[in-house]
Amino acid sequence: MRTKKPEIHLGLEGIYMAETSICSVNGIEGKLYYRGYSIEELAKHSDFEEVCFLLLNGYLPKEKEFLSFKDALVKERDLDPEVLQVITDTAGKGLPMDVLRTAVSLSAIYDPDVKDNSKEANMRKSIRLISKISSIVAAIGRVRDGEEYVRPEKKLGHVENFLYMLNGEKPSESERRMLDIMFVLHAEHSSNASTFSTIVTGATLSDIYSAITSGIGTLKGPLHGGADEAALRMMRAIGKPENTVKYINDALAGKQRIMGFGHRVYKAYDPRARIIRGYLEELREHASPEVENLTAIALEAEKLMIKKLGKAKGIWPNVDFFSGPVYTHIGIPSSLFTPLFAASRVPGWCAHMLEYWENNRLIRPLEYYTGKTNVKYISMTKR
Ligand code: SDX
């Protein structure tokens, strides 16, 4: 007997799934807070390691506990030989996000806590994942360029070590600081698609590696973490600032999505995009002609999109739009943009998983059935 059709929330739009004290996103005013601290304050005063501690523990560390937290991250940087071998065998062939997803999944097998799902073990595994996933992304970048794996350097900070492992040399202070801020800005964003899939997986009481592997697979999509690479591809396709208006108008007329714009929650300027845009303006004066050209195109596109769709449809730049020119300035190849997003987002994924497990409930929504009922089985010969 068909029940009355309930209200269907496609994409679970507007549905609250849990309470959280990790992150709040004000989509109307374009505001973002991690554990109550505004993203502007954290981008200005904090760094990625401190933000990881804040997200996982809920407060800013005192010096002594911060030093031991950073020490724990440093100890976990190097890769298991078996994981490194899989990266070496596949990074030249596979998509970077597929190699990352595979390497993270494999890493579970070599984790000493793999069978221990206690709170303490999950915190240790979170630290391992934060540390190792950045090393895996750097190793993927090296192998794709036909280079040897660079062992981590204990004395360097997290982001500085990432760039050292990626390029085989230490970064400049301005490159280090800029990428550190990009890691902070990408570290967490409430129940976005990849965090949701992380939680769905963990809510069955599966393990944190399975949960993070789900998150990586989800982040890959161009509607989510894949938009940063897609936005840069568009800027390169536009080629020159003077081509921007025609390109965007033609794309919109063809009902195409302009990557790096729009958001399920922000109906105002994404505060992270505003910060990244600010850095882009700052670095312009000493950028390469390529980055200067990309920046000019990005600013042209922003102006047009805000005029056409900003107030009218609440479609504004999001965190992915200006990231490409900044990463290009730092020398990050576009094939690593989304893996870098994943490496930055690990603390957010883990913090939500640890929090949800405190009050765990299996996630199992309903679907409204509109198919046939009581259909008679007919044998093959009579079909
Ligand atoms: C991230 O959720 C998070 O927190 C994610 C994230 C995080 O930190 O984890 O912030 C990171 O994923 C940012 C978003 C990156 N993705 C993109 O930049 C891809 C391009 N953006 C769109 O695909 C879109 O804006 C979404 C997917 C991000 C959000 O889409 P919604 O909420 O599902 O909105 P929708 O698809 O229903 O669109 C509503 C209308 C549609 O027009 P109509 O059919 O009503 O006429 O707005 C239009 C859409 O066509 N629209 C766009 C557009 N985004 C929406 N039109 C042109 N260009 C766009 N980018």
CATH number of the domain at 247, please: 1.10.230.10
Task: Identify whether residues 147 and 196 lie together within a single domain.
Answer: yes
Question: By three-state DSSP, how is residue 225 classified?
Answer: coil
Q: Quick one: pLDDT at residue 223?
A: 93
**CA of residue 263 to ligand 1 center, whole Å:** 5
Number of helices (H) and strands (E), helices first, in the chain? 17, 3
- What is the rounded CA–CA span in Å between residue 150 and residue 211? 28
Q: How far is residue 15 from each of residues 3, 218, 375, measured CA to CA in Å?
A: 22, 19, 35
Is the Cβ–Cβ distance between 204 and 367 less than 8 Å? Answer: no
Structure tokens at 317: 């730049």
Choose one of 329, 348, 378: the last residue of a domain: 329
Confidence class for position 285, pLDDT limits 50, 70, 90: confident
Task: Identify whether residues 350 and 240 lie together within a single domain.
Answer: no
8 domain-assigned: no
Q: How far is residue 121 from each of residues 49, 60, 114, measured CA to CA in Å?
A: 19, 21, 9
Computed over every residue of the chain, the mean pLDDT equals 97
On the question of pLDDT at 120 being above 80, the answer is yes
206 domain-assigned: yes
**CA of residue 129 to ligand 1 center, whole Å:** 29
pLDDT in tens, 163-211: 999 999 999 999 999 999 999 999 999 999 999 999 999 999 999 999 9
On the question of pLDDT at 1 being above 60, the answer is no
- What is the rounded CA–CA span in Å between residue 179 and residue 198? 25
CB of residue 227 inside a 6 A radius of ligand 1? yes
CA distance between the termini of the chain = 27
On the question of pLDDT at 3 being above 80, the answer is no
Q: Quick one: pLDDT at residue 188?
A: 98
364 domain-assigned: no
Give the percent of the chain with pLDDT over 90. Answer: 97
107 domain-assigned: yes
On the question of pLDDT at 135 being above 80, the answer is yes
Q: Quick one: pLDDT at residue 2?
A: 58
Task: Identify whether residues 197 and 252 lie together within a single domain.
Answer: no
On the question of pLDDT at 145 being above 70, the answer is yes
103 domain-assigned: yes
On the question of pLDDT at 4 being above 90, the answer is no
- What average pLDDT does this structure show over 302-311? 96
CATH number at residue 133: 1.10.580.10
Task: Identify whether residues 157 and 279 lie together within a single domain.
Answer: no
Task: Identify whether residues 278 and 168 lie together within a single domain.
Answer: no
Atom of ligand 1 nearest to the CA of 188: 8
Is the Cβ–Cβ distance between 258 and 305 less than 8 Å? Answer: yes
Structure tokens at 67: 């030093």
197 domain-assigned: yes
Q: Quick one: pLDDT at residue 383?
A: 94
Atom of ligand 1 nearest to the CA of 318: 13
- What is the rounded CA–CA span in Å between residue 95 and residue 144? 10
Catalytic machinery residues: 224, 263, 320
Task: Identify whether residues 132 and 168 lie together within a single domain.
Answer: yes
Nearest to 162 by CA among 137, 140, 143: 137
- Cβ-based neighbours of 108, under 8 Å, separated by 6 or more: 114, 207, 209, 210
Task: Identify whether residues 215 and 347 lie together within a single domain.
Answer: yes
Structure tokens at 5: 């059709």
Full residue range of the structural domain in which residue 202 is found = 17-222+333-357
On the question of pLDDT at 311 being above 70, the answer is yes
Task: Identify whether residues 108 and 162 lie together within a single domain.
Answer: yes
Question: By three-state DSSP, how is residue 120 classified?
Answer: helix
The letter for the amino acid at 163 is L
On the question of pLDDT at 48 being above 70, the answer is yes
pLDDT in tens, 76-89: 999 999 999 999 99
- What is the rounded CA–CA span in Å between residue 114 and residue 119? 13
Is the Cβ–Cβ distance between 222 and 54 less than 8 Å? Answer: no
Is the Cβ–Cβ distance between 318 and 298 less than 8 Å? Answer: no
pLDDT in tens, 338-366: 999 999 999 999 999 999 999 999 999 99
On the question of pLDDT at 245 being above 80, the answer is yes
Task: Identify whether residues 302 and 341 lie together within a single domain.
Answer: no
Phi-psi region for residue 222, left (φ > 0), alpha (ψ -120 to 50) or beta?
A: alpha
∠ Cα 24 25 30 (to 5°): 140
Task: Identify whether residues 30 and 176 lie together within a single domain.
Answer: yes
CB of residue 320 inside a 6 A radius of ligand 1? yes
**Strand stretches in the chain, DSSP E:** 23-26, 31-34, 37-38
Phi-psi region for residue 239, left (φ > 0), alpha (ψ -120 to 50) or beta?
A: left
7 domain-assigned: no
Task: Identify whether residues 139 and 177 lie together within a single domain.
Answer: yes
Q: Pocket of ligand 1, candidates 22, 189, 257: which has the most ligand atoms within 8 Å of its Cβ, to mutate?
A: 257
